Amino acid sequence: MTAMDDFVSEASRKMDKSLESAAHEFNTVRTGRASAALLDRIQIDYYGTMTPLQQLATVNVPEPRLITIQPYDPGSIKNIERAIQESDLGLTPSNDGKLIRLPIPQLTEERRKELVKVVRGLAEEGRVAVRNVRRDAMHHLKELVRNGDVGDDEERRAEERVQKLTDEHVARIDDLLKRKEAEIMEV
Let me know: does 66 contact 58? Beta carbons within 8 Å: no
The predicted structure's pLDDT at residue 166: 94
Question: Where do the domains of the chain lie, and which CATH numbers do they carry?
Answer: 3-27+108-185 (1.10.132.20), 36-103 (3.30.1360.40)
Percent of the chain with pLDDT over 70: 97
The predicted structure's pLDDT at residue 161: 92
- Is the model's pLDDT at 22 over the cut of 80? yes
- Is the model's pLDDT at 115 over the cut of 70? yes
Distance CA 124, CA 18 (A): 11
**Who has greater pLDDT, 89 or 163?**
163
**In the 3-class helix/strand/coil scheme, how is 144-156 assigned residue by residue?**
HHHCCCCCHHHHH
**Who has greater pLDDT, 49 or 89?**
49
- Is the model's pLDDT at 50 over the cut of 80? yes
The predicted structure's pLDDT at residue 88: 75
